[in-house]
Structure 1
Amino acid sequence: MADGLRLDRVRVFQGRRRLLEVDATVLPGTVVTLMGPSGSGKSTLLSYVMGDLAPGFHAEGRVTLDGRDLGGLAPEARRVGILYQDPLLFPHLDVAANLAFGLPPGSPRAERRAAVDRALADISLSGFGPRDPATLSGGQAARVALMRVLLSAPRALLLDEPFSKLDTGLRRQIRDLVFGRARAAGIPVLLVTHDEADAEAAGGPVIRL
């Protein structure tokens, strides 16, 4: 069995000020929720796991994924996916090309097209490949963003309040989709949120800062 995502005494600093300290294990297929006030360093912690800390911040501690130390690895080598508040679809690419961006490079064109078609059908958006992302609803864009991440075959998934801009009914639908896909794929998930309903739906441990 995979080890999952391990944060071993990770401390995040802004200058000399310590923002947070986290010691946690996120097992495959489970969601660990991180809650705390704005400015407490939650998103910065996710950046540290991704390997792209912003200037002015630094962190200490060890991050491992399935037993592999992520320290020193470039973000693209970590196999960690992330979803943000905004879908961040590429505006100059159609929906199909946005999804294809998540696929490993070098695969034959026919295989890539078939993978994109399956992905669209999987999220009930068959036929949406040629669409401009600007024409999608909030829920449709969120589903495309999720599937783009999943097509990259991440070994862990970070969620930086990706449901916060959705209305209540859509929030529940997309949240269930994200958690369900992660559980089915056995992906460890680290969720940052301010919403207690998100934490309850995640069903895993909650770390409060």
Structure 2
Amino acid sequence: MSRKAGAVQYADTSRGLNQPDSMIAPACEKILISSDLHEEAYRRYGLSAAVGSSYIARFRSIAKRYPMKNKSQILSDLIDTTPGEEGKWFATAKEPKLYVLALELANRSPCDSKTLTRAARDYLDSEPAFALGSAIAALRWLSEGWGYEVTSVDVVEAYDRAMDAAARLNRVDDVNELIRQLGEASDNAAVQFVWKAVQGRMRASV
């Protein structure tokens, strides 16, 4: 009937067990966008209408629907929807080249060490400082016991990527000292597991 405002109001008042937000929010968002009310659509429904099986897919879906919005603002708004899970947005922050933010997120809450190590490898030449920060963060979370099916190979890989980046930045000595301090910070099992693997690598590289 072309009564778009009425349709949105009706949908909002119909929320309930059998009318889930996952269906209502995208429909209302689409109506508002079709009326060129992009800011209102984003504010009221944009984040809840985000679709995707991963964090980065959710970000991409919103960025595609709102090309006029600053990507860093979209990401910031999404991060606010998952308090305590900031580290899971690390890979997403890399996409719009928000490297400083990505490292901040990687150190704010647990982040998958293998994801961090891959970033350290992939950005070694183009962004060595980011690569170094990613590798150090990987070692940090490994030493705190985070990770799925972690082996000494994962530890050595993170260490090697850290040292590769350190070499490009002329920081080999201070990065080695930083890693040494990390390994000597505690005698808990996770720290000692990491430190044992790192010590072996340090001896092999001498």
TM-score, with structure 1 as normaliser: 0.28
Larger radius of gyration: 2
Structure having the larger proportion of residues in strand: 1
TM-score, with structure 2 as normaliser: 0.28
